[in-house]
Chain A
């Protein structure tokens, strides 16, 4: 069984001063597992291991070097981190054991927080949609998730998307794996009030730690 990289402590090797620019520090304090970025040795295994590798504007390897070179805007405006399928191939193969998947998610979150990512970026939109959906009742509503996705670009586009996908949807309904009646409720947790209070507190604590107000 593999030990997860995040359970280890990033070693405190002295980092050359020329890399200790403002943006690297920002990533270290504001991005999930950002303290690992300085450990990348630029081997490129992550770039070659990514299923959507050819679709990225920048590979993780490039993103990490750009962070160290202080290219703040270019990193935060990149579409790279929004192409992560969470397959964990980069993370499993990284010889330095960087938790690359988490770092890419963390950079995506940071870019979204600061408003660098276009609203229409499909993965950004889906991520926010999924989160809001799953915390509303404590459990995911698959029907509303799909409808929210299709109607992303408005009513007309949504109807067209729905029509294009009608056979997929119908197949799932007939297989009893999609419930049209989830539109009017659906599954959920009993203690959704407790969950909401817990999440509010978590937001406050993380905001205080990072010095940001949400």
Chain B
């Protein structure tokens, strides 16, 4: 029996053998425990991220995102659209805001959509998976499936940028959102409440064209986690996860540091607490092994 069903926008990095496939794997495991059904939007396309503004025009980028919203309305009427990726969520939601509040852009976008045989109506809200967890379930409900103790593991909750700004989660502040720490504690982990890099930027897409500048930011995020005695960093964002995890070896190579801090998704922590195996929680998809969580996940 399925409790709740959503129209799901998985995004490019969730696909098989892409950079955040282990996020997707762990989300599936977490959703199974919570009886959430994610039905993918048929033939969804890339949101074009936050970096393609020079390559693509405003209306082109808007049309791309409108196509996803429209396909969802068409194939899954009445269902909320849910994204797990910060960038997908942000772009889809920004597109919805523009289309719903700017009649000229709406008319122009619909003219473009007509070429793909679609019409945007604007009926479905665009939500992040974290919003679904907090608003449609609530912390008490999220506690119920917990079967394994995460006691003694210290997590630095790293919210990052785009899950937090400009929209954020209802009732949370931009400067010190608390939901990630609450999620960690709900499933039995120890959250580092005063982790000062909680909403700092990892460089985002600029990790590629401006590696030196971005790696300086990443180093600060990781070193702050060490300062607080963290066992792992936890994030809701695929780009934060990839940047902060995979560039640690580069920073070590260039600066002689010994950074080796695991970076996890909230869904992996939840999956393990809910009894997920190493594979189900996507813990086999890391460059830096999350030792403590691996030990717990491997235990019967």
Contacts and interface: CB of A to CB of B under 8 A. Distances in A.
B54 A86 contact: no
* Category for how many chain A residues contact B: 35 or more
The 3 closest A-B pairs by CB, nearest first: A131-B55, A86-B50, A122-B209
Interface residues of B, number: 77
A21 to B, nearest CB: 24
14 contacts: A85-B161, A87-B165, A126-B51, A130-B52, A139-B12, A140-B13, A140-B49, A165-B250, A168-B247, A171-B246, A175-B285, A176-B21, A177-B19, A187-B15
Interface of A: 1-2, 4-7, 32, 51-52, 55, 83-89, 91-93, 101, 105-106, 108-109, 112, 117, 122-132, 134-135, 138-140, 142, 145-146, 149, 165, 167-168, 171-172, 174-179, 182, 187, 189-191, 194-195, 197-203, 205-206, 209
B280 interface: no
B115 A2 contact: no
Q: Is the interface of B mostly helix, strand, loop or mixed?
A: loop
Contacts of B206: 52, 83-85, 123
A112 B63 CA distance: 21
Nearest to A125: B209
Interface of B: 12-13, 15-22, 43-46, 48-60, 62-64, 67, 94, 97-98, 100-101, 108-109, 111-117, 161-162, 165-171, 174, 200-201, 203-206, 208-210, 213-214, 217, 242, 246-247, 249-250, 253, 284-287
A142 B54 contact: no
A89 B54 contact: no
A52 B214 CA distance: 9
Contacts of A142: 12-13, 18-19
A192 to B, nearest CB: 9
Contacts of A140: 12-13, 46, 49
